[in-house]
Structure 1
Amino acid sequence: MTPPSGPDGQDTALGRYGESLFEAAHPREAERIDDAAVVYDPVTTHRLRALGAGPGLRCLEVGAGTGTVARWLLREAGVDEVVALDRDTGALERGGDEPGLRVVTADLTDGSLDLGTFDLVHARFVLMHLPERRRVVSRLAGLLNPGGRILLGDAVELPDRLDASRAYRRTMDAMWEALRETIGTDITHVPAYPRFLREEGLAEVAAEAYCPPLTPGGPLARFWSGTWRRMRPELEAPGRLDPATVDEALAQLDSPHLAELAPGMLLAWGRRA
């Protein structure tokens, strides 16, 4: 029997990020998130600055994680208020109180959630995990004040299909498949984000992609190593990978011969007229 599908064509019976996979209570989860933040925060904050992040703004940080971007908005950009939203805010709250920071523990897809309106909305590596992603884009765009701006960031990939037999490539492909089947993660929609924003009536819509270097033992290699280790049961499920392939892929992330292109990030933005 075909499982029920939501309006975005995805199985509504799937698990969720932070529950079925990557539980926030795991002792290494905050470290795993911060390994990615070290790489992507400079790109994100550069774009936020270019979009006018600064004094006088009320901002929404969706999927705030450990709070690196939320705190940058307050400390470096000098915005007046940041509403940091996540379904689990334990890691964010452990960072201590911050003037202007309002932490909200809630589900973005909860239709009763009322956060008010904002001058700047940012969501990174969130929508790709949500079956309701198209509706969420509409909802986030609807939270913008006149002249307000939105920045969406999610994963994109340029796989080397000429060498698909390598352990790294096979493991990365198996990971995306396992994520899709377990929690509904889907990055095939990400290149459509600029179109989604245009459909919401936003002006000055544009996008860029960033593919960071994957260096042996570096923060991004640690992120993927930690991700694959946490997902070993799903990666080694029947019909996917054998343990030796996963071991080889993990070893490649530490090898001085590592020469792979890691998944990158697409940023799309627009302004409410």
Structure 2
Amino acid sequence: MFDIPMSNPYESDKLLSEYLLFHYGTAEEILPEDTPAGMADALDFAVRTQRHFSADEASRGLDLGCAVGRSSYEMSRSCGEVIGIDFSHAFVDAATALRDAPLPYRRLDEGHGWTPLEARLPDGTDPSRVCFEQGDAMNLRDDLGDFDRVHAANLLCRLPEPERLLDRLPSLVRPGGELILATPCTWLGEFTPPENWPDGPTLDWLQRHLDPSFELLSTRDEPFLIRETARKFQWTSSQLSLWRRR
């Protein structure tokens, strides 16, 4: 599908296919025939998280850890310009390709069994407003500018030094602008050294870092579902917090 560098765990063809399904798959493509209670409520995570922004039109939006781009495209419904940034070259290539045409991919069912599928943008999004770039959320380019809305879902607990992003956020969000952070709080040594984990509840840690510059408006849990095979699914609950720049 793409020439994929193997510099980080999110560059494999398997994960690319899983995330295309996660972001763009329909309920029929994702769920088993006998769906357990609650699984359907975890669909469309990349759509639901950005809906916590206010309904007003905005000038600029930033989607950090955008993966294959669904939240970035959803933000284009109300933002004049959206930049999506992800560390994975493969994810950014796929998100960019979707600007122009549907993208074929394969769903793993089991063993050597695959089903061909196609990712496509939903009606009402405006790809002309969206661009993507590969980048490191801990070391964003200096000329990125500031934004009315910043969205970072399931990113913090995958960064080696998450406080570097927290320190940058006040300069990224304009006064009065909104910030959405969502994290499943699954702190793992393979991504973040234990000495860089929060020393207590993640939300308390966020408040200590962000309170000088941001007002916490609301929190809630948002479940999400990743289909690995026809019989294996990841169901996880992400803690979403909405903030306003002081």
**What is the TM-score when the length of structure 2 is the normalising length?**
0.65
What are the superposed Cα offsets for residues 156-202 of structure 1, whole Å, 9 maximum, x if unpaired?
A: 47xxxxxxxxxxxxxxxxxx7xxx33332779643335414543421
Measured in 2, the distance between the counterparts of 1:56 and 1:201 equals 20
Question: 1:71: which partner in 2?
Answer: 73
Structure 1's unaligned 5+ residue stretches are: 1-17, 158-175, 213-219, 227-249, 255-260
2:224 pairs with 1:195: no
Residue 31 of structure 1: how far off its partner (Å): 2.4
Aligned with residue 94 of structure 1, among 88, 94, 97: 97
CA distance in 2, matches of 1:91, 1:144: 27
Offset at 1:70?
A: 0.7
Find 1:55's aligned residue among 53, 57, 67: 57
Question: Deviation at 1:92?
Answer: 1.1
Is 2:49–2:222's contact at 8 Å kept on the other side of the alignment? no
Cα distance in 1 for residues equivalent to 2:63 and 2:140: 18
Give the equivalent residue in structure 2 for 1:21.
9
Match for residue 135 of structure 2?
Answer: 106
User: Which is helix-richer, 1 or 2?
Assistant: 1
| Cα distance in structure 2, aligned partners of 1:272 and 1:28 | 38
Distance 2:141 2:75 in 1: 27
Contact 2:47 2:70 in 1 (8 A): no
Aligned length: 189
Q: In structure 1, what is the Cα distance between the partners aligned to 2:173 and 2:73?
A: 21
Q: Which has the higher strand share?
A: 2
Distance 2:22 2:185 in 1: 14
CA shift in 2, pair 1:45/1:272, >3 Å: closer
State how far apart, in whole Å, the 1-side matches of 2:163 and 2:174 are: 20
Q: Sequence identity, in percent?
A: 21
The unaligned stretches of length 5 or more in structure 2 are 1-5, 24-42, 101-126
191 and 36 in structure 1: CA distance in 2 versus 1, 3 angstrom threshold: farther
Aligned to 1:181: 189
- Deviation of residue 39 (structure 1)? 3.7
RMSD, aligned CA:
3.0
**How far does residue 111 in structure 1 lie from its aligned partner after superposition?**
5.8
CA distance in 1, matches of 2:208, 2:173: 15
Q: 1:33 to 1:196 in 2, by over 3 A?
A: farther
Q: 1:262 aligns with which of 226, 235, 238?
A: 235
Counterpart amino acid of 1:207? T
